[in-house]
Structure 1
């Protein structure tokens, strides 16, 4: 078996910027490791054939471990190969995908953030949720993960509304989600029966502990005020890391989310690591992918030397890494609450 690392990434084509961020994070850890093994980079392009060709070339040139590819298609193209060396794919595949015995999955899944948010809510004894998510594949995936984790802890999502991204006024949809529309309809019916107007203040449904919001930062800035207008102001709002772009926002104060340590950890050691790479454009433009690259290097050296075992953990930049089963390396995340002047740690 070879003694070096082969890093397979789509460095040309539509995913090149994403790949460069992962590469730069990987290299930052590689050069920080004084005992680093030999390393070769391979451009897999944008096709499954390109990934397989780069993999074959890497083995022929003496790779002892293969890291990558990055896209789901690329990772899937290597998953079923009977590899003679460990392969660390940088994405997650469907649960029913056939895998070889030396194939491992590691990546940034939004489902990790949704599950962490659900566990945080359960730790606060908040079990009954309303969900507002985008009408998209991402919204469907995060909602499914949040719902499954909440149900596993005895909770449930009582109602879901899906919104169209980029539409400013979602007040009707949110009023229906919060039960405000039902409250107003009951008042209109009572007015007809009594034949006289009466003082009225709309109420939200009373059987709710929290709201789960799936949103980008720009959508959240539109949706959160509308949620609060529709009587959600006294409810905790949980979301995912997509809402946080590295800067706190007064409009989003109070939102709770779980993210990787590279983004939200404030200790001196982590701050020093971020400062050391602050001049790299990719570290600024795509910090989470940069952190993925850093952790991919740490995992690759463990696989290369045979020092990783099922059940092992590693404090990484993208989370607390846990080798959960035969093939999946998952992440545990830190949780915070956004404030106008920064982030407040929350302990799940």
Structure 2
């Protein structure tokens, strides 16, 4: 979730500094200096407040509990404060107290990543009825929290409405820039069909805010519809600026769009494609190459700028020698290599003279060579994405079940690290070989053996027969699974056999072949998995060309998609590198770049339903 990092941009202490008033009649926190408030809160006798609340009747009881919760929050006792706030009936608070309750409780809920609790607090209809009575600082804070929360929960349009409402409230130029950047990222996360619908809806309801909104939608559509054609994109943006001269985005274009002219001037005239043509990686290399070339010819047919392509075999010899030969031949940019060891060799160079987009990731290198960009189909990226989604959806205690292959272990390690960083707990981690050991591995992981042993002990105490049904462990609320389709089709029924049919299962894209097989895939029902947009975008012209020409085997579909997105990526490497908000929406996912120049992918989500993969919204509540 890219927007999780935006949650909590302001804390309760900053609102205290802005002059937030607490409970009516006994305002507990009023000071210009947050440090002083914290010192005052530390000196408060919480037990005395709670005792007084216990002896009081409503509504004074709720006022005292709120006062105690605010002081506890400032003391860092978030768990205790949350329990107190949970016990308060907000309908018994007056308007001023209700706002204090909302500010305190929403901050604690967001700090705890209790997103659905925060949603309930921040969307209370009473809050909307009181907007006009709020201080500007309070409006800013609450709208920012709502905007961030809606994005985390997969409601970008609701987030956009909050961000637009924020614009006239912000006086700080830096905050205004940040707000506009977040607004642009929210817009770019929306599908083209949704942007089109929202744009038409805004046009049919003419208001000043809707006019601004329609301008934003229009600009986002230009950006998303022309990601494969820099010239067309720049031309249409210049037309948009001429049409909307007073629009906030005309006064300051999003950073990724500001770079378009530079990208056009610096785009490579000759591209060298460094892929294996022989040996164990020959078929994989051919799939990546064919995807790249198919995208090249599609761009040519659409009138887009295309470079001269030259191909080099990396199957044998030193990759540095191949690289130098391509450089001497006049390459302005390199695509490849594919072999992980060869990528690592390039990464270990002090620097590379020519921008290079490798189509795999190197082993960990502290400081990768300058000019090296890395892009691949990392299972670890998927594992981290699954951890973020499962966490937002309310899970906290995870089981891990993976193949014993190296990629499965790497995925498990990535999930564990991401999960524990979020604050989650790994209950157990198990591996299977796939050689008839599914039942034993799952039985042991679910503690079915221990349950049966307890039953044997009970039976030994009674001469008469004792009815018994084994119970699985109850301390796990989800399972993270890494498996191939044939393995996953055995695992899900085995889970049901061992009393875990209702345990939510999240899986990497590897459980889905990309080819519909409803009879076989019924055994995958209800599994949530991340996957490539490639498998759901049947209208993609490049995909249609590849399917007609190559009829690719399921195992190579992802590599064709990797080749397609490599072609889309290479002209925009500088754009992704210089703007953290820039996303390229490709057939392998939403692509961004981190500080190590590694392209990170955010895939779409799907769920098996009656043997058919169906796309899912960003977040689904299990509450």
Q: Does the TM-score normalized on the shorter chain lie above 0.5?
A: yes
| CA deviation vs aligned residue, 1:46-93 (integer Å, no higher than 9, x gap) | 45x1x2222111100111111110011111121233211111111112
Alignment partner of 1:183 out of 429, 440, 451: 451
Per-residue CA distance 1:290-328 (angstroms, 9 max, x = gap): 11111111222224xx54434232001111000121321
The aligned residue for residue 526 of structure 2 is: 254
1:157 pairs, out of 401, 412, 426, with: 426
Aligned to 2:331: 63
In our comparison, the structure showing a higher alpha carbon Rg is: 2
Answer yes or no: is 1:105 the counterpart of 2:374: yes
CA distance in 1, matches of 2:396, 2:451: 23
Q: More helix per residue: 1 or 2? A: 2
- Per-residue CA deviations over 1:120-170 (Å, capped at 9, x if unaligned) read 2112201211121122212210111111222222212201121112x1243
Question: 1: distance between equivalents of 2:290 and 2:501?
Answer: 42
Distance in 2, matches of 1:46 and 1:142, equals 30
Unaligned runs of 5+ in 1: none
Please state whether the residue corresponding to 1:102 is helix, strand or coil. Answer: strand
Counterpart in the other structure of 1:78? 346
- After superposition, residues 235-250 of structure 1 pair within 5 angstroms as 235-246=503-514, 247-248=516-517, 249-250=521-522
Q: How many residues align?
A: 340
SS of 2:280 mapped into structure 1? coil
**Per-residue deviation, 1:3:** 3.0
Whole-angstrom distance in 1 between the partners of 2:465 and 2:507: 40
Larger RCO: Structure 1 or Structure 2 (Cα < 8 Å, ≥ 6 residues apart)?
1
CA shift, 1:282, in A, is: 6.3
Q: 1 CA distance for matches of 2:508 and 2:397? A: 18
Aligned ranges 1:1-348 → 2 under 5 Å = 3-33=269-299, 34-47=304-317, 49=318, 51-81=319-349, 82-165=351-434, 167-246=435-514, 247-248=516-517, 249-263=521-535, 265-266=536-537, 269-270=539-540, 272-281=541-550, 283-285=552-554, 286-303=556-573, 306-310=574-578, 311=580, 312-346=582-616, 347-348=618-619
Pick the structure with more strand per residue. Answer: 1
Contact 1:204 1:230 in 2 (8 A): yes
SS, match of residue 400 in structure 2? strand
* TM-score, normalised relative to structure 1: 0.92
Gaps of 5+ in 2: 1-265
Q: Aligned in 2, Cα 1:113/1:326: closer, same or farther, shift over 3 Å?
A: closer
- Secondary structure at 2:427 match in 1: strand
1:205-233 CA distance string (max 9 Å, x none): 11111112211111112222111100110
Per-residue CA distance 1:145-196 (angstroms, 9 max, x = gap)? 111222222212201121112x124322211111211111111112223344
CA distance in 1, matches of 2:418, 2:305: 41
TM-score (norm 2): 0.52
